[in-house]
A and B are shown apart, each in its own frame.
Chain A
Amino acid sequence: MAAAVGELVGSGLYKTYRAKGQAPTAVLADCSFRFEAGKLSVVMGTSGCGKSTLAYILAGYQRPDRGTLTMDGAPVAAAGSDRLLVFQETALWPWMTVEENVLFGPVSRGSSRQAARPKAAELLDRFGLGDFKDKYPTQLSGGMMRRAELAQALVNNPKVMILDEPFRGLDVMTRELMQEYYLKLFEDTHLSTVFITAELEEALFLADRIYIMSDAPSRIVKIIDVDLPRPREIAVTVTRRYAELEQEALDALYAGRELEAL
């Protein structure tokens, strides 16, 4: 495998939303991090802490008010197919079939349908969607939609995948299967991944490293190296090391929080 690419480094990022007629909301303040190439970095924080804003900035959809963001040393200026975001809610285009959704990226960048089709088919087969390529997204289950979105992103050979609470809203069983699924994908490819979640179990199960965000205006307040062995299986969640890491993370999450705020 080639040298890992897709290192995202943010330093001193600030973001404040200013909506007309409302008090400005500071979402990020002095947020700094280094998401290493070839690693699965998990960003954790409570809901409403600015995780999605961070995801939008990483993907290039929003610009920070201050601070710098670089990928492999080059500044991130706009959205691009080398950094792809899987959104919290499905962003599959409902008017395109699953295959058309996957082909959209390559075709938009000038490839012919014929040339792009084999790779799309290969990814769809791999994700168990081969028989569903001519279906429309609304005809798929929640888990299938998530997998279609992974195929839609991966067909473009991104350097980084950013997943913003991707498995939220799935039922417990599907969710666990999807976690195992993404884990296997990552362990096979070591594709640089920034995985955003509010669930500690998910974070511990997947992460090489967990970045804990404070409440808004947020920054990274704690980094936990998850040294659980790979390849991981669900059994890892009953080991003693897992319990220790869980406690460490919980302490960090509750640190500095007033009791009355709970």
Chain B
Amino acid sequence: MQEQASAIAVDPVAGPTTATAAPAASVHAPRRRKMTFNWRGLVSIAVFFLAWELAVRLRLPGFHELPGPITVARVLVQDFLYSPGYWESWAISFKRVLLGFLFAQILGVPLGLLLGTSRRFNAIVFPVFEMMRPIPPLAWVPLSILFWPTNEASIVFITFIGAFFIITINVYDGVKAIKKEHLWLASSLGAPRLTVFRRIIIPAVIPSIAVGMTLGIAVTWNVVIAAEMIASDSGLGRLTWEGYVSSTLPVVFVGMISIGVAGALSTWVVDVIEWRMMPWKRR
């Protein structure tokens, strides 16, 4: 029945029926999403914390030194939530992630576009790029400390490395995957090169930029935490590490939870930005 309705909407000869096309088409346009509360998920989260607490109280193997969730929560509230030092750690880690991520975007997106659009540039630069890409970001730590004048700069640099290659390669792949029809049609219609670049190539690559952002933000958090543990005296990574070194295990848990929340927040922000970048993918 619905098939017929949309078929009639297509009928070009019977002009007036197109008026009925709008409601017919909109019948299945809005995707109905059932927002039912997932009570099973809530139960399993409760069971998770219960099992953790029980494992600690029953001194199961491996758990006898660990704090339970109640202890962790008490330490978090009493010693951290109202402590400026704790929030400073947040701010410092966020700043490093943001700077590394931004530099990676600012350099990676144009580089990916150039690699994809200029054959000569690609021939010169891509081999060097591919030579460096397999080196893991953390392998850069010693060199980075030697090279950059401040510790801060070297940590930002390592964070940058984490996102840069991922972003660049995604943009480059995005350019290569542009449908030839999309470019051909634009050239047929008489579009100058700059117009093709601005109105066809850039928007065509935006979904790939978005993928690079999603992967990049996850990697920058991974990298910044490890770099802070190795080479810094501040940040959420350092906080977690100090908890371990000073054998105050609740602090380790506070650090882990904070890092998880920070990562989730960043991912959420990136998702919102991506949603805004692609109005044509909204439904």
Interface residues of A (CB under 8 A from B): 56, 59-61, 78-81, 83-85, 87, 89, 91, 93-96, 104-105, 108-109, 127-128, 130-131, 136, 138-139, 141, 143-144, 147, 156, 171, 173-174, 177-178, 180-181, 184
Contact = CB atoms under 8 A, between A and B. Distances in A.
Interface stretch (B5-13, B37-45, B220-228, B267-275): B5-13
B256 interface: no
B181 A128 contact: no
Q: Provide the main secondary structure of the chain B interface.
A: helix
Interface of B: 3, 6-7, 9-13, 15, 18, 21-22, 25, 29, 179-182, 184-192, 195, 199-200, 203-204, 206, 278-280
A79 B196 CA distance: 14
A126 B42 CA distance: 55
Contacts, number: 105
Contacts of B190: 80-81, 105, 108-109
A118 to B, nearest CB: 19
Contacts of B189: 81, 84, 104-105, 108-109, 156
B43 to A, nearest CB: 38
B206 A184 contact: no
A111 to B, nearest CB: 10
A160 to B, nearest CB: 12
7 contacts: A91-B182, A109-B190, A128-B12, A128-B15, A130-B18, A143-B7, A177-B12
A174 B11 CA distance: 8
User: Lowest 7 CB-CB distances: which A-B pairs, in order?
Assistant: A105-B189, A108-B191, A128-B18, A143-B10, A181-B12, A95-B203, A91-B181
A87 B15 CA distance: 26
Nearest to B29: A139
B12 A147 contact: yes
Nearest to B184: A61
B13 to A, nearest CB: 6
Given A79-B187, A79-B188, A108-B190, A177 B199 contact: no
A37 to B, nearest CB: 20
B199 to A, nearest CB: 7
A138 B280 contact: yes
Given A87-B181, A141-B9, A93 B203 contact: yes
Given A104-B186, A156-B189, A174-B7, 20 more contacts: A60-B188, A81-B189, A89-B181, A91-B181, A93-B203, A93-B204, A95-B203, A96-B203, A104-B191, A104-B199, A108-B191, A138-B280, A139-B29, A141-B25, A144-B9, A147-B10, A173-B3, A173-B7, A180-B13, A181-B13
B184 A79 contact: yes
B200 to A, nearest CB: 7
Contact of B185 (A91, A94, A131, A181): A91
Contacts of A144: 9-10
B276 to A, nearest CB: 13
Contacts of A141: 6, 9-10, 25
Nearest to B179: A91
Contacts of B187: 61, 78-79
A147 B182 CA distance: 17
A167 to B, nearest CB: 11
Contacts of B18: 128, 130-131
Contacts of B192: 108
B200 A131 contact: no
Nearest to A78: B187
Contacts of B7: 143, 171, 173-174, 177
A104 B200 CA distance: 10
B12 A180 contact: yes
Contacts of B13: 180-181, 184
A189 to B, nearest CB: 14
Given A81-B189, A128-B21, A177 B10 contact: yes
A143 B5 CA distance: 13
